[in-house]
Chain A
Amino acid sequence: MGANCFGAAFIAAVLAVGTGVADAKTFRYSTTGDILGLDPYTNNEGPTNTMKSNIYEGLIHRSYDLSLSPGLATEWTQVDPLTWEFTLRQGVKFHNGNDFTADDVLVSYERIKQPASNMTFVVASIDKVEKVDDYKVRIVTKYPDPTLLLNMPNFWIMDKEWLEANNAMDIAEGASVSTYANLNTNGTGPFKVVEWQPDTQVVLEPNADWWGEPQHNLTQAIFKPIGNDATRVAALLSGEIDLMYPVPLQDIPRVNDDPTSTVMEGPELRTIFLGFDQHRDELMDMPGSGKNPFKDVRVRKAFYQAIDINLIQKRVMRGASRPAGLMIAPGINGYPKDLDVRFPYDPEASKQLLAEAGYPDGFPVTLDCPNDRYVNDEEICKAVVPMLKRVGIDIKLNAQTKSLHFQKIGRSGTPWETSFFMLGWTPGSYDAHNPLMQLMTVDGEGQGTWNSGRFSHPRVEELTDMIAGETDVDKRNAMIAEAMEIHRDQVGHITLHQQALAWGVRSDTVADVKQRPQNDVDLRYVTMK
């Protein structure tokens, strides 16, 4: 279902690679919010990370199709289960003209693992980074880490001399004190920042001295955040910007009808799901009852089967979603395709299950839902509520802004103050271990931060620990599949769908742009007419 909706909708791909570009080509693009800062190690957030990856580079580059290719390292080899050697690219210069060497990698490692860094997860498994010579470094991990390479693209390399000269070595958390590095940039990437006017624009221009062969033909790129959905659509239709995302799903036909605009759709890696409180002995919505129905797998399954995901896909998501049976999307490392099957929509079975579990007349519960985080999040919840109501659940909807929603369902303050909630997840490392650790287990240091319903199964806990250090790909994938299957059959969460990307593009100005599943615009791949 929905595969045909995801036909690669790339617009006429006329690559202008290598052709001399004389005329000015300015690319103006927009999304919902401004970047949160330019320091590569603070603010681990979508649009901010994308902006940084135009400016800074890692040892390895992640291409638009998620494949890994050489970045600042030209090659890498695994010496033993714990040790990797990276050969660095020679002749690379930072934007200020400084040479890139092994010392920069070492300093970047020291900086990224500071407590105030938000990117420590990228280097969490690394024990030390050693310099072999000026153009070779050795990375030693604490345990065999099969995902090390997957994390490397987000380990952006900074310039040692620049950091020292500007006294920017310490990350004061982007918020408490502003550091030089948050307002200024000096990377090796294909673009340089000319100006950042908060909430108005970020102006970039190509780095003429970049080591690679540019695939873009831009002379300037301007990022202009527009928060209001309707205004952003209007700006595209009136030609004030060349690309914007996301297009509100209901406006896709409107944009496609416009002779000079078109919508690119594609799959995204984020899985949207609903979770239940499976920990409290008494459900928060049933004070005095001493019961928590969600501890019973039959109740969880009854909720699952009461939701008509295909109708939501057709009406709420307008076809721009892929109903999901698992907590990870195709494209995530370890994805077991055969298991990605949903329980069927069956409200009668649902009523039956509720009756068997001892709740023939349902019970009261509140669904916590964000209203400005995911594509049509509030609309999905508004569609789910009547469906559950029809099988007898006395359900209420609490839809609120993301700051309040995540505070409520999160771990801080009163932890996990929710009975039934919506959450979406893209694994930061593009590997299945990440959601297992963050969402599906509770046992262990740093585990289960967003497992707000505290689903826990002894075998899944065990498997997750084993997966972390297993380097044999086949064995590892088998373990991932087993864990995913248990979680699915236990209805640890109700998986809903992977939302689709929807970018609005001006067809009269943009020749080609590559849509990445992490929903961001990499300027490396933008060509203009």
Chain B
Amino acid sequence: MIAFIIRRLLQSLLVMGTVAFIAFSLFNFVGDPVNNMVGQEATEAEREYIRQLLGLDQPFYIQFMRFVGNVLQGDFGQSYRLGQPVLNVLGDRVPATLELVFVAAVMALVIGVPMGVYTGLKRYAISSKLMLTISLIGVSLPTFVIGIMLILVFSVWLNWLPSFGRGQTVNVGWDSNLFSLEGWKSMIMPAITLCLFQLTLVMRLVRAEMLEVLRTDYVKFARARGLSNRAVHFGHALKNTLMPVITITGLQVGGLIAFAIITETVFQWPGMGLLFLQAIQFVDIPVMATYLLLVALVFVIINLIVDMTYYFVDPRLRTEGKGGGH
């Protein structure tokens, strides 16, 4: 068991190292940070000086080695754009994004699961088909269009909700939107925008699982025992459905963080995604690298948890090592 975890951890480190390496090989193609930093009047000599200072005159693998060396000592460098330690800058942003992603994921589950159950049980009802079709619209429109439409309707026309930023936050160890009405007002539109895709996914997943579980002998047997529909559906069927749903939702957190880039840009939500996009536009290499490492870390951790859960739950997998994906 310990050997399994250690092996997985080593593999994870390898994954993260590779992620960072590939990232560095691509950074050169994002543009030239020096021009953004020094302004138009700087002479070529001054530009060259800055370039040397930042090590940008070195080939990318040397830059990469230096970054890794510093990271191993806990130093993630300084943001080119903001002139502050990357960890400080990112530290302020992580809660903003995690709260947004958390609320979006919860919304997706709370709305998606009942809808999935309903469409699974009433497979042939018109209402089910309607729900399935409408839910697809959510994944057929780009996120930014949804966000801008929401702003147009709820901020500009109706003036109900703030159009940008986190508004008033409450400090509960971190700056939080969850503990005040103002905070929730700022949160609601970005969260809806972000959750639509997951919502559709969760609903479809629950439906598919329900359809399968309802056909199993186990459920048929429960029915034969004379249990009520209600007991069968919620006690047996749904319970068996939820495990894969939660797993997939967990795995999708990475996707949510990625899509938060768009949502945060539209709503000027001061999270990691906005930071990353601005980092790309400014060619803020330390911030880009750290962000990608962080996303990789989140993914690695989630994957590890999922694998370990499977390991405990399903002894058959102990020999095979890992479960196939969806």
Contacts and interface: CB of A to CB of B under 8 A. Distances in A.
A–B contact, 8 Å CB criterion (strictly below): yes
Given A176-B54, A182-B84, A198 B162 contact: no
B186 to A, nearest CB: 10
B238 interface: no
Given A200-B166, A234-B163, A234-B164, A182 B83 contact: yes
A241 to B, nearest CB: 9
Interface in B204-247: none
B78 interface: yes
Interface string A24-50: 000000000110110100111100000
Nearest to B42: A118
Interface in B1-50: 30-47, 49-50
Nearest to A434: B41
Contacts of A33: 278
Most chain B CB within a 10 A radius of its CB, from A173, A401, A402: A173
A412 interface: yes
Contact of A235 (B47, B148, B163): B163
A175 B37 contact: yes
B75 to A, nearest CB: 11
A438 B43 CA distance: 9
A204 interface: no
A422 to B, nearest CB: 14
Contacts of B198: none
B255 interface: no
Contacts of A410: 32, 35
Interface string A367-409: 0000010000000000000000000000000000111101100
A238 B83 contact: no
A231 B281 contact: no
B51 interface: yes
Given A199-B278, A231-B266, A403 B36 contact: yes
Interface stretch (B132-140, B149-157, B295-303): B149-157
Contacts of B89: 198
Interface in B41-73: 41-47, 49-51, 53-54
Interface residues of B, number: 55
B267 interface: yes
A267 interface: no
Contacts of B50: 116, 173, 175
Interface in B264-301: 265-268, 270, 274-275, 278, 281-283
B79 interface: yes
A445 B47 CA distance: 14
Contact of A402 (B34, B53, B162, B281): B281
Contact of A200 (B40, B162, B165): B165
A372 B281 contact: yes
Contact of A175 (B80, B163, B166): B80
A240 interface: yes
Q: Is the interface of A mostly helix, strand, loop or mixed?
A: loop
Contact of A412 (B32, B40, B164, B165): B32
A174 interface: yes
Most buried by B among A178, A413, A434: A178
Nearest to A35: B82
A72 to B, nearest CB: 23
B43 A449 contact: yes
Given A198-B84, A403-B30, A118 B46 contact: yes
Nearest to A413: B32
B318 interface: no
Interface in A228-245: 228, 230-232, 234-235, 237-240
A36 B32 contact: no
Nearest to A429: B41
A432 B30 CA distance: 34
Given A45-B36, A179-B83, A404-B31, 7 more contacts: A43-B39, A43-B83, A44-B41, A175-B33, A182-B84, A231-B267, A403-B33
Interface of A: 33-34, 36-37, 39, 42-45, 115-116, 118, 120-121, 173-179, 182-183, 197-200, 224-228, 230-232, 234-235, 237-240, 372, 401-404, 406-407, 410-413, 425, 428, 434, 438, 445-446, 449-450
For the complex of A and B, the 8 pairs showing the least CB-CB separation, nearest first, are: A403-B31, A44-B39, A174-B83, A407-B32, A234-B163, A446-B43, A37-B83, A175-B80
